[in-house]
Structures are given as C-alpha cells and as structure tokens.
Amino acid sequence: MTGPDERLTVVVITHNRCAELDRTLSSLERLPEQPPVIVVDNGSSDGTSGMVRTRHPAAELVTAGENLGAVGRNVGVHRATTPYVAFCDDDTWYDPGALTLAADLLDAHPTLAVVTGSIRVEPDGRLDGICEEMAQSPIECPPGLPGHPLLSFLAGVSVVRRRAFLEAGGFSERLWLGGEEELLASDLVRSGWHLAYVPEVVAHHHASVLRDAHLRRRHGIRNTLWFTWLRRPLGSAVRRTARLLVRLPRDRVTAQGVLDALRGARWVARERRVVPPEVEQGYRLLEESQLNGRSRRYVS
C-alpha cells in the first residue's frame, strides 16, 4: 500500500512523560502509514499538552483533566472513526509497515478482534521475554487464524477492531491501570472474538523511568484477584487465588493490593459472570505460564 492507510487511527495515552511522548509521536509521524494520532493527556502537569500543540500539531489532543488510566484509551477509541485502532503508550511505537500488516490481518479475518505485536526492548532491540511466552501458547489455534491464540493482550502494542472493543465496553473504570487487559479480553472471547499474537507485527518499548512501580504492582495484584473472581468458576478462583498468594512477596505493597481487592468484594459479587467451559479450559492451560512467567513476577 502506498500513501496513508485510512483503516487505522493510533490512540496514545500519557501522563507526565513529556519527553517520552515527544519521542513516540516523532516515531509515529515517520510511519509510511501516516495514521491519524489521538493523544489523550491524562491530567499531565509537566507541560505535555503544550508540547503536543507546539511540536506535533497534526495530532488530535484530548485533555482529560484527570488521570483516567487505561480508560483514556476508551476516550480515544470513541473519537476515532476508522475501523481499527492501534494503541500506543507514551513509551511504545510501531515499526514501519506493522500497522498495515495488522490491518490486513483484521481485514482478512472477520472474527479477529485484537492483533498484538512482538516487542523489541530499547535501546538494545532485544525481544521481550513475554513474546516467547505468547509464542508458546498451549491454546489450540482456530483453523485459518494467524499467529498464536491469546486470552489476554498487551494494550500498548496491540491493534484492535473498534467495533469489537466498543461492544465489549472497553477498559474497566474500576481496574484503571495494571493488568487491565485481562477482563476486556475475557469479554471479547466469550462473545466469539479471537485474539492473536503475531510476531511479524513489530513494536518497540523504551520503558520510562517515570513510573511508580509499587503502585503498578499494587494495582496488578488487585486486578488479578478481581478478574479471577469476576470470571473464573469457584474452584478455579479459589485455586488461582491460593497459588497467587503463595508467590507474592510478603510486604506492604502486597498487603495493600490484597486489601484493595477485598474492598471491592461487593462489586465483584454483583458483577460476577463466569466464563463458558471452553474459555475456562483455555485459562487452565495458561495457568502455569501465568503464575511462573516473567510477565507476572509482582516485584517492584
């Protein structure tokens, strides 16, 4: 394809990472796809909005006024008008041609809702270890679908079908940020959509040092527990909770995460909708890699 790819919009969420966002937007502007870019500024106080207006005037800027976390992506998706939306964090970006490949796959496979790309960790360009886990997925791949089947995804390096995303309700306001993809992915899969890891769709991640690692771990623990009790059958929820608690560090952050989860118990009970048996079977197959893999070490 030559010229702009009109099938895609890129949505970037950011909070107080002005320099990293500048780098990401510059990378996106060099892509041959020339995608429209929507930046959702989650209440930054470091001059982010001014930088976007001055240095990247072609980007559509949405100033949220507060830190919406992952829900900022919902705002961007609602404003997009293209059939597909590529998510970026302020420290991720895509290779030239990656977005066109993802759009081609979504065009060719009408039940495919999410394409997650491989991640090159910068500055050295090594393959992120989580990619090896996704490539070794034990879930059976439906005939004809590309890549490796998933039951969750990595939002910062994924391209989604806008209609599927909106029908599933987008990211949960309750979960905010930190493992927020798992609940949305579950609701997509139970509705008949598929998710795939496609290594040929290449993205880059230059992890920002401007992050609260303890808060992210706290939210990750809370959200994992919430998801487990929102969607897993009773026996599986009990087993997964027990195995998780054994592996968590015995420290203040873990205690805060568990207490946060307990505070949401009434909401979880009210919103609990157990997945169908065929989806639960997939979760059981993935349980060992999730508990022991590099992506869920719960350290900070």
Question: How much is the pLDDT for 291?
Answer: 66
What is the pLDDT at residue 250? 95
Tokens coding 154? 């990595």
pLDDT band at 293 (very low <50, low <70, confident <90, very high): low
Q: Given the DSSP bridges, would you call strands 92-94 and 84-89 parallel, antiparallel or unpaired?
A: unpaired
Q: Give the SS3 label for residue 295.
A: helix
Residue 294 pLDDT level (bands cut at 50, 70, 90): low
Cis peptide before 123 (omega within 30 of 0): yes
Please, which residues bridge with residue 205 across strands?
Answer: 92, 121
**H-assigned helices in the chain:** 18-29, 48-55, 71-79, 98-108, 129-135, 162-167, 181-190, 213-231, 234-247, 252-263, 265-271, 277-292
The structure tokens listed for 112 are 């495919």
Spatial distance between the Cα atoms of 221 and 121, rounded to a whole number of angstroms? 24
Asked whether the predicted pLDDT for residue 295 surpasses 70, the reply is no
pLDDT in tens, 134-160: 999 999 999 999 999 999 999 999 999
Q: Is the pLDDT of residue 59 over 70?
A: yes
pLDDT in tens, 111-122: 999 999 999 999
In a 3-state reduction of DSSP, which class is residue 288?
A: helix
Q: Which two tokens stand for residue 66?
A: 């507060």
CA separation, residue 237 to residues 242, 243, 280, 300 (Å): 8, 10, 11, 25
Tokens of 255: 């205690």
CATH number attached to the domain at 8-205: 3.90.550.10
* pLDDT tens string 255-280: 999 999 999 999 999 999 999 999 99
The predicted-structure confidence for 201-217, as pLDDT tens digits, reads as follows 999 999 998 888 999 99
The percentage of the chain sitting over the pLDDT mark of 90, rounded to a whole number, equals: 92
- Residue ranges per structural domain of the chain: 8-205, 213-296
CB 286 within 8 A of CB 137: yes
Residue 78 has pLDDT above 90, yes or no: yes
> Encoding tokens for residue 275?
């997945």
- Cβ pair 149, 142 in contact under 8 A: yes
